Chain A
Amino acid sequence: MKVLTSVFLAGAAIAVSTGASAGTMEDVAGKGFIQCGVSQGLPGFSNPDESGNWTGIDVDLCRAVAAAVLGDASKVKFSPLSAKERFTALQSGEIDILSRNTTWTLVRDTALGLNFAGVNYYDGQGFMVRSDLGIKSALELDGASACVNIGTTTELNLSDYFRTNNMKLNPVVFEKADEVVAAYDAGRCDVYTTDQSGLAAQRQKLKDPGAHMLLPEIISKEPLGPVVRHGDDKWLDVVKWTLYAMIEAEELGVTSANVDKMKGSDNPGIRRLLGVEGDGGKNLGVSGDWAYNIVKQVGNYGESFDRYVGPKTPLALERGLNALWSDGGLQYAMPVR
């Protein structure tokens, strides 16, 4: 009932809001912080640490936007949202930006009245099973029960995959990610499926992570990225270029450690990015040192990746598709000029 109520309240918020939310930029400047929608706890992406601070690459993106707009990466308030609540929260203006491992799809971009500002993690849906089941491929899953999270692209991809391969599926659909993991751990399902990064993250929560294995198949494209409301172009631009600035900084070799020294660089690309030359910041409607603040306070894309999801973290994810385009990956920033 609680969730129904919250969705209803959000619906009611749409019903009574007067339409003043068009300028998120002005709203944010006025209230002095950014309200950022994150997950209810997905290690590596958005997860509170021991002292209650939110960490992860999705969290870093919100902090970067705060650094760009307000000059201070700490001016962010976080709203933990379930997969089901996330879009309503954004539509109704409860949050300014949704940075919650959300897949970019056509329906979400159009019928839901949202805009995706880019992709901060290229992912794909995978499967996890118990090692002692003795299967080697997802094609052996005929008749299996699968634990999934409601309101995700995962749920649909799963149905599609089983239908295409003419296999029978018993979906067991939960509202919260934690319940999906608990039910899988309790043996309710043969297979747990979500984005590969999610599998790596949630695996830490299982009683015996070593007793489970990932199947080789990746059955979908899951481009995850930050989302804003449709029809607020100025805000969309800021979020989009914040992400590009982080990627561009990595490409140019600008890190949080050397950014002050880099300001004196002769490279015009670096000078433009850090606001020494040109008026990129003015055009975006933020201060000239916006990208300097991002890199100084949050770091570049690669730093953020290595800090939370990279090979040295418990998730141990390789860069793979998320390597820079120059290294054979898909991360490619539009020219900052």
Chain B
Amino acid sequence: MAVDQVAPAARPPFFYDPRVRAIFFQVLVLALVILGGAYLVNNTLANLARQGIASGFGFLDTTAGFGISMSLVEYSEESTYGRVFLVGFLNTILVSVVGVFFATVLGFLIGVARLSRNWVVSKMANAYIETLRNIPLLLQLFFWYFAVLRTLPSPRNSVELFGSFFLNNRGLTSPSPIPEAGFSTVVISFAVAIVAAFFVARWARKRQEATGQQFPRFWAGLGIIIGLPLLAAIVTGFPLSWSVPELRGFNFVNGMVLIPEFVALVVALSTYTAAFIAEIVRAGITSVSHGQTEAAFALGLRRSPTLRLVIIPQALRVIIPPLTSQYLNLTKNSSLAAAIAYPDIVLVFAGTVLMQTGQAVEIISITMATYLALSLLISGFMNWYNQKMALVER
């Protein structure tokens, strides 16, 4: 301890001790923050009570009484506001996940195209990026929504594809699968196939590390994942029937519908975010020194494995952190859904439910907490992936 070295006579008063001061000021700041928070909460409750505005979370068990156009879980007008939250939350997650997937694929393609030695391809990619990222997302959303809607025909004049898919301005109606007895076997075999493919890939990697022999693990894995459930389906006699849509009255009954709001939102979010991801990918690839490519060529690697095994892994170190913030942006931007009637959490929960109960403070808090949790989850996952991808220094 440092105290031992200080002579007792020279000991300064305790309030000159930097450690005591540090602790004192930290406690002070913390106390101020807590007091400030408590004041806000207390004042809010007092004001709500004074104005006679209802508060509390009891409303979550109340019957909602309104319909929602798209739901991943069972939902009807008799469901509760809590259920509405779940429906909206899942719809937000769905559009974010699908959006992130397409934005990533499109972004990587355009980013690589931007670096192409083909002048036309590179300029086209450049034009895409500069156009898309310089127009406000909300305008793009309206463009896609109304552009899609106006070009599609009414249900009675639907475009028919393969006799059972119908495209019209109510969305894409397709046959929906109805599982019958024995279908669980197919599902189980699918799960088994994924696990098996994983182990095959691991075995192939180990063997390559040990012996240098390569194994077509991608095609083998794909074969297992498709083949095994197919075999199970043949053995059990295809235990799946289809509910085929048919036009009755105004609209199609049976089957399932991909609503145009969802399509417009996914297209707008992914094309917009892809423009940013493309630039990130380009930056990542350019950050890898050209000497790496030359070295790989010198070792006898061809173009494709050079890109896949040498350039991309090094570029990913630069790509992943900004990519994470694009994923977060996309997720948060999905709240623009409210503008085009896609039933996400903002529209159905922070919209309709808020209007009906009037409990703005609770509902906005829940909604904000939800977005925060979702963002932290994505960010946590990407940080984990980033650590895994970081160069292992030896």
Residues of B within 8 A of A176 (CB): 339
Contact between B54 and A111, CB atoms less than 8 A apart: yes
Q: Secondary structure at chain A's binding surface: helix, strand, loop or mixed?
A: mixed
Nearest first, the 9 A-B pairs at minimum CB distance are A151-B355, A112-B358, A113-B53, A111-B54, A113-B51, A186-B149, A15-B44, A113-B52, A230-B52
Q: List 29 A-B contacts (CB under 8 A).
A: A1-B335, A3-B338, A14-B48, A15-B40, A15-B44, A15-B361, A16-B43, A91-B51, A107-B356, A111-B54, A112-B53, A140-B249, A143-B249, A144-B249, A145-B251, A152-B355, A156-B66, A163-B77, A170-B251, A174-B340, A174-B341, A176-B339, A182-B146, A187-B169, A188-B169, A190-B250, A230-B52, A231-B50, A231-B51
Identify which of B69, B149, B368 contacts A173 (C-beta below 8 A): B69
B170 touches A145 (CB 8 A): yes
Kindly supply a per-residue 1/0 record for chain A positions 1-25, scoring 1 wherever the CB is within 8 Å of any chain B CB and 0 otherwise: 1011001101100111111000000
The count of residues in chain A whose C-beta lies closer than 8 Å to any C-beta of chain B is: 58
List residues of chain A with CB within 8 A of the CB of B115: none
Cβ contact within 8 Å between A143 and B346: no
A83 contacts partner chain B, Cβ-Cβ < 8 Å = yes
Give chain B nearest CB distance to A18 CB in angstroms: 8
Complex Cα distance, B43 from A17, in Å, reads 8
Residues of B within 8 A of A1 (CB): 332-333, 335-336
Q: Which of A151, A179, A187 contacts B339 (CB 8 A)?
A: A179
User: Do the beta carbons of B364 and A155 come within 8 Å of each other?
Assistant: no
Does B347 sit at the interface, judged by CB under 8 A? yes
Query: Which A residues lie within 8 Å of B146 (CB)?
Result: 182, 186
B residues within 8 A CB of A186? 146, 149-150, 169
* A204 at the binding interface (Cβ < 8 Å): no
Q: Is the CB of B354 within 8 A of A142?
A: no
User: CA–CA, A232 to B364, complex, Å?
Assistant: 26
* Chain A contacts for B65, CB-based, 8 A: 156, 159-160
How many A-B pairs fall under 8 Å by CB? 161
Q: Counting CB contacts under 8 A, is B224 at the interface?
A: no
Q: Assess the B149–A188 pair: CB atoms within 8 A.
A: yes
When the two chains form their complex, are residues A15 and B43 in contact, meaning their CB atoms are under 8 A apart? yes
Give A87 to B360 CA distance when docked, in angstroms.
10
B338 touches A230 (CB 8 A): no
Q: For residue B361, which residue of chain A has the nearest CB?
A: A11
CB-defined interface of A164-186 with B at 8 Å, one 1/0 digit per residue? Answer: 00000111111110010011001
Residues in B236-270 with C-beta less than 8 Å from chain A: 248-251, 253, 260-261
Give the contacts of B376-394 with A (CB-CB under 8 A).
Answer: none
Tell me the chain A residues, 29-50 only, with Cβ under 8 Å from chain B.
Answer: none
Task: Name B residues whose Cβ lies closer than 8 Å to a Cβ of A.
Answer: 40, 43-44, 46-48, 50-54, 65-69, 77, 146, 149-150, 152, 154, 169-170, 248-251, 253, 260-261, 332-333, 335-336, 338-341, 343, 346-348, 350-352, 354-361, 364, 367-368
A51 interface contact, C-beta 8 A: no
Whether the pair A187, B149 counts as a contact (CB closer than 8 A) is yes
What is the minimal beta-carbon distance from A200 to any residue of chain B, in angstroms?
23
Chain A residues near B54 (CB, 8 Å)?
Answer: 110-113
List B contacts of A297 (CB < 8 A).
none
Please give, as numbers and ranges, the residues of chain B lying within 8 Å of A133 by CB-CB distance.
Answer: 250
Query: Across the interface, do B360 and A11 meet the contact criterion of CB distance under 8 Å?
Result: yes
Tell me, yes or no, whether A271 is within 8 Å of chain B by CB.
no
Which residue of chain B is the closest to A150 with respect to CB atoms? B351
Complex Cα gap A1–B328 (Å): 14
Q: Which residues of A contact B358 (CB under 8 A)?
A: 87, 107-108, 111-113
What residues on B are CB-neighbors of A10 within 8 Å?
A: 360
Residues of A within 8 A of B51 (CB): 91, 113, 229-231
Most chain B beta-carbon contacts within 10 A, residue among A17, A19, A108, A170: A170
Contact between B360 and A88 (Cβ–Cβ < 8 Å)?
Answer: yes
CA distance A303 to B387 in the complex (A): 73
Give A158 to B177 CA distance when docked, in angstroms. Answer: 31
Residue of A at shortest CB range from B137?
A1
Q: Are A159 and B77 in contact, CB atoms less than 8 angstroms apart?
A: yes
Known: A7-B354, A143-B250, A229-B51. 13 other contacts (CB 8 A): A1-B335, A8-B364, A10-B360, A14-B360, A84-B355, A107-B356, A111-B358, A150-B338, A150-B347, A170-B67, A172-B261, A186-B169, A231-B52
Complex CA gap A145/B56 in Å reads 35
The answer to whether B53 and A91 touch across the interface, beta carbons within 8 angstroms, is yes
Q: Which residues of A contact B368 (CB under 8 A)?
A: 8
- CB within 8 Å for A175 and B339 given contacts A111-B53, A159-B67: yes
Contacts of B152 in A (CB 8 A): 187
Query: In the complex, what distance in Å separates the CA atom of A108 from the CA atom of B358?
Result: 8
For the complex formed, measure the closest distance between the CB of B59 and the CB atoms of chain A, giving whole angstroms.
9
CB-CB under 8 A from B251, the residues of chain A are 143-145, 170, 190
Q: In the complex, which residues of chain B have a beta carbon less than 8 angstroms from the beta carbon of A182? A: 146
CB nearest neighbor in A for B145:
A183
